[in-house]
Amino acid sequence: MKVLLIKPYSHFPTRIPHLGLGYLATALRRAKHTPLIADCTRESINCRGLLHLARESAAEVVAISMFSADFPVVSDLIPKLRRALPGANLILGGPHPTALPCDTLRQLPEVDYVFAGEAELSLPRLLEQLASGTVDGDSISGLAWRTNGQIRANPPRWENDLDSLGFPAWDLLNPELQRIAPHGAFVRQMPVAPIITTRGCPFPCTFCAARVISGVPLRARSIAHVLDEIELLVHRHGIREIHIEDDNFTARRKYVLEFCEGVSRRFPGLTWCCPNGVRLDTLDAELLAAMRRSGCYSLSVGIESGCDRVLESIQKRINTDQVREKVELIHRTGLKTTGFFVIGLPEESEEQIRQTARFARSLPLDHAQFSVFLPLPGTEYFDSYVQKVGFEAVPWKNFYTTDPVQWPGGIPVARLGQLQRRAFFTFYFRSRIFLNILRELRGPRHLWHLLRRAVAIFKPMDAARRRASSYLNEKSKPSDP
């Protein structure tokens, strides 16, 4: 079968190849199908261009990966795809359908199937059954489907042998297509490629959906398999820097040390970093030194709050004294550090948000990201939010931090936006931080990129609406934040 795999346009600033679709493409090729990947974000494909591509592909199956923030775009896109390819099966997967498989089918009646969790084994099985003319939904892990007027869903299956999945289909992911800042605002060398070495999250943070989206058990590829993928990227695609996109790369200390030894031995001169974030409580001096020797230059770390009471309420399992100790250790090692913070949690007061901003400035961080809290599907907060307002009242168009969801009885979102912008302003407009940013600039295009991101922060709703409008306007291309 011909299968069109779609990453819809998103106003998230991350511009990396979609590894999930790359793994699916590999699985489909093994099953003798013909996949094509359309990454609308990286390739600046607008709605008109995507529909043209869909018709030209004559795809028999269209599969879309979506976050909750993609819901407005996907709900607009599905009917258009149905008209463009009336005979195709439409399938959704990714974080949002994984958290809400049955609800996704109810809300998008033109979708045929939904997958929750990992689909490298399940999607080819569904296509095999579609080709035979009979679908036995009960036999396919993670599938949600309609039968006799009812919606049914199977629990996902988490693959333990990650090596058996092979590498993503890098020839379809086109790593040569480079952005100034693919993940985060800065890189050390170009071109850059992302990889994933582990899947799963055993930690209970109440604001995060990782346990639902990627499974609780932490599973890892073999180091040999990871290094072979890096070799392919370096020698076949000219990659000079690797971004590790795991949720929990440093959770297994011995694993990281083996990775560092292998990178040092096989890829001298390669740089790498962890822009997706690591847990501070997994780091120590020996581990950090080994990472730096092997070419690591930057870590992002999940701090979340500068208030111990808030950290305890979200089950972060770390306090501010430990945060300070670990961030100072990273700084002494010579690695650049980005701190991730969440503001506007239901437990927080305005003073605690200001405390978080002061705490961020007191740490030897090089960069900071202040995100407004969202009750994401798959979290305890989402369940609580739905109990308060009802599922039908969930404002899916607001599941992005530029125009966030209003928590019932919480700090007004307009005020949260003011506090967020003040946190950014007071952190970055300091001489040490500002001068360091100037030193990291890679030229005029990079400066222009940073200025546009700053506008998106300080005029967030306007910027988000412009980007959404440019995507849905079939006569224009989406702008790149």
Domain boundaries along the sequence of the chain: 2-153, 175-440
Residues 6+ away with beta carbon under 8 Å from 199: 118, 158, 159, 162, 214, 215, 218, 219, 246
Backbone angles phi, psi at 194, to 5 degrees: -90, 155
5-14, 317-326, 372-381: the lowest-pLDDT one: 5-14
Does 175-440 match 2-153 at the fold level? Answer: no
Q: Give CA–CA dist 97/378, Å, rounded.
A: 10
pLDDT of residue 401: 61
pLDDT of residue 465: 47
Residue with the bigger pLDDT between 434 and 298: it is 298
**Tokens representing residue 473 in the block:** 């306007």
With a cut of 80, say whether residue 454 has pLDDT above it.
no
Task: Say whether pTM exceeds 0.85.
Answer: yes
Please give the mean pLDDT across all residues of the chain. 91
Q: How many beta carbons lie within 10 A of that of residue 45, not counting itself?
A: 22
Percent of the chain with pLDDT over 70: 90
Q: What is the CATH number of domain 2-153?
A: 3.40.50.280
Band of the pLDDT at 203, cuts 50, 70, 90?
very high
With a cut of 60, say whether residue 481 has pLDDT above it.
no
Residue with the bigger pLDDT between 247 and 462: it is 247
**Tokens representing residue 376 in the block:** 């994401």
Band of the pLDDT at 196, cuts 50, 70, 90?
very high
Residues 399, 95: contact at Cβ < 8 Å?
Answer: no
What pLDDT digit, counting tens, does each position of 313-331 carry? 999 999 999 999 999 999 9
pLDDT of residue 132: 95
| CA 449 to each of CA 70, 275, 481: distance values in angstroms, whole numbers, following the listed order | 23, 18, 7
pLDDT of residue 455: 64
With a cut of 70, say whether residue 447 has pLDDT above it.
no
What pLDDT digit, counting tens, does each position of 43-93 carry? 989 999 999 999 999 999 999 999 999 999 999 999 999 999 999 999 999
Band of the pLDDT at 10, cuts 50, 70, 90?
confident
Q: Give CA–CA dist 63/469, Å, rounded.
A: 23
Band of the pLDDT at 450, cuts 50, 70, 90?
low
pLDDT of residue 463: 45
With a cut of 70, say whether residue 152 has pLDDT above it.
yes
What pLDDT digit, counting tens, does each position of 391-412 carry? 999 999 888 766 789 999 999 9
With a cut of 50, say whether residue 126 has pLDDT above it.
yes
Report which of 18, 3, 128, 10 is spatially closest to residue 470, judged by C-alpha positions.
Answer: 10
Per-residue pLDDT, averaged over 275-290, amounts to 97
Q: What is the CATH number of domain 175-440?
A: 3.80.30.20
pLDDT of residue 222: 98
pLDDT of residue 11: 74
pLDDT of residue 446: 67
pLDDT of residue 176: 84
**Tokens representing residue 70 in the block:** 């993609």
* Residue 195 DSSP SS3: strand
**Neighbour-count burial for 186-218, b at 16+ CB within 10 Å, e otherwise:** bbbeebbbbbbbbbbbebebebbbbbbbbbeeb
Residues 477, 416: contact at Cβ < 8 Å?
Answer: no
Residues 187, 241: contact at Cβ < 8 Å?
Answer: yes
pLDDT of residue 107: 96
